A and B are shown apart, each in its own frame.
Chain A
Amino acid sequence: MPFSLLKYGLSSDYPVEVDLPAPTELKPSYDVVIIGGGGHGLAIAYYLAKYHGITNVAVLEKSYLGSGNTARNTAVIRSNYLTSEGVRFYTESVRLFKELSNEFDFNIMYSERGQLTLAHTDATVRAFRQRAEVNKHFGGRTEMIDRQQIRELVPSLNLDPGHLPVLAGLWHIDGATARHDAVAWGYAKQAAKRGVEIHQLTEAQDFVLDGDRVSAIKTNRGTVRCGCVVQAIAGHSSLLLNKLGIRAPIHSYPLQAMVTQPFKPFLDPLVSSSALHCYVQQTSRGEVVFGGGSDPYPLYNTRSTLELKESLLAHAIEMFPFLAQAKLMRQWAGITDMTPDYSPIMGLSPLDNYYLDAGWGTWGFKATPICGKTMAELVASGGQVPELIQPFALERFSRFEQVNEMGATAASH
């Protein structure tokens, strides 16, 4: 009955659900201050509250929630990495992603479609065999498939693009996408429900040091004292680290992506080719998303460039020729904090109570849940690094023990 529905909507019995409590003043002191209100920062806050009962936590976000790289990625979730360290870490992340909608009671639109990576050379076929075996061994679901199987999976794909015929494919069954904003919202809502304070428009500007500890953080809304600090920002990790005198191997590059007008569904799996510097997927709304390599030199600027769009589209059209007629709807870029080995920097810093969640380059979104969970463990234990993230320590560079994932990127950079 429309009339009774209207009456119910206007009555005081109507259950109004508040996602986030109204903003409050900053308290003078918190047990944990998390810098960065993206997926990672909010996930850390959520797991701290949920598993460790630590709720005197402030998340400081300089803009609005999830406005940084959480809003700028291409929403791909996968675990078909190259090293055992990487595969174990990302496989656990995929497992957590699958449960998130239930856990939040909020739909993050997790959609498992599989990811297909194309091999155009014999060398790539050999590398894929290795990746498939490493993956299977550490719990991922990945296998090699041939041209015929690729043709059946993606009938619209051109298997002979110019000088680079497709020889085989790496079929990653766990490949998926999720609504990236919803992941941030879900974590924010559940963290706030448990007492975490989320302060938007609050920028961490400087630090007060007391020996080897950070005793307080200066923000645009005043100074807060802190038990410990987690840095979980993307795109500007170096700028914050420079303020503390911490040296890190991070170079920041823009990564541009774009999306077309909607089409009727034609592409189920996520398809990528590092030889063609391009990955393509169709969203649940029918739009086609293209991502590619980073810009060729560092920049703190998310401007669009015609050169990158041209080269990215040329390769996308080689893969899916009918897209030559597609109209582009929008373009965006995110600043990626690239590390030399294409793995993150997680764990301890040279300061006693300052924890790092940095260097997320182009692989941050897919690690959101496991990053939140392991960083929360690290904080709650007062600095005992969980085994899963020990390989990603900042000191790996001075020990010359890098975790080389360069070959496992979706598009070469």
Chain B
Amino acid sequence: MKIMPCPLNGPRNISEFTYGGEFKLMPDPNTCSDAEWADYVFNSNNLAGVVTEWWMHTASSYWFLAERHTVTDQIIRTYDPSERFSQRVEFNLPASREEEVSA
């Protein structure tokens, strides 16, 4: 059994967790081009080495970040996203789009 150290719940069996993808910064959906958005949605580095990725403790729906080595499968560090995000990410649509949606 592989153990994942959850920053909220402590060490748990890795089967209690869901993998959430590579950690990458989102471009501004209001201003970025379609190509930039497609790159963000689909493409990945898929590195062999230490990567930062999103994980969720499934039972408590708690999302956190983990540094993991993708060759040895060693989990190096897990931490709360507050270390990377100091404020809430807003997804507000611009005024023109909002009108389209409500129309």
Contacts and interface: CB of A to CB of B under 8 A. Distances in A.
Contacts of A242: 45-47
Interface stretch (A106-114, A158-166, A224-232, A293-301): A293-301
A262 interface: no
A398 B34 contact: yes
B59 interface: no
A297 B19 contact: yes
B95 interface: no
A383 to B, nearest CB: 22
Most chain-B CB neighbours within 10 Å: which of A242, A297, A307? A297
A233 to B, nearest CB: 13
A263 interface: no
Given A296-B19, A398-B35, A398-B38, A250 B71 contact: no
B44 A251 contact: yes
Contacts of A266: none
Which 9 pairs of residues, A with B, have the shortest CB-CB distance? A238-B46, A249-B42, A297-B19, A247-B43, A398-B38, A397-B42, A300-B48, A300-B71, A249-B43
10 contacts: A248-B43, A248-B46, A250-B46, A251-B46, A296-B18, A298-B46, A299-B73, A307-B1, A340-B42, A398-B39
Contacts of A239: 46-48
Most chain-B CB neighbours within 10 Å: which of A238, A251, A398? A398
Chain A's interface: helix, strand, loop or mixed, by majority?
loop
B72 interface: yes
Interface bin, chain A:
20 to 34
A301 B1 contact: no
Contact of A301 (B34, B45, B71): B71
Contacts of B71: 299-301
Contacts of B19: 296-298
A236 interface: yes
Interface of B: 1-2, 15, 18-19, 34-35, 38-39, 42-48, 70-73
A303 interface: yes
B83 to A, nearest CB: 21
Contacts of B1: 306-307
Contacts of A397: 38, 42-43
A307 B3 CA distance: 13
Contacts of B39: 247, 398
Nearest to B68: A297
A10 B18 CA distance: 63
Nearest to A297: B19
Contacts of B15: 307
A242 to B, nearest CB: 7
Contacts of B45: 238, 242
A251 B45 CA distance: 8
A252 interface: yes
Contacts of A250: 44, 46
Interface in A350-404: 397-398, 400
Contacts of A303: 73
A299 B70 CA distance: 5
A164 B71 CA distance: 37
Contacts of B72: 301
Contacts of A296: 18-19
Interface in A259-288: none
Contacts of B43: 247-249, 397
Given A239-B48, A299-B71, A307-B15, 10 more contacts: A242-B45, A248-B44, A249-B44, A251-B44, A298-B70, A301-B70, A301-B71, A305-B2, A398-B39, A400-B38
Contacts of B42: 249, 340, 397-398
Interface in A208-229: none
Contacts of A300: 48, 70-71
A305 B73 CA distance: 12
Contacts of A305: 2
A306 B39 CA distance: 36
B71 to A, nearest CB: 5
A251 B47 CA distance: 9
B48 A236 contact: yes
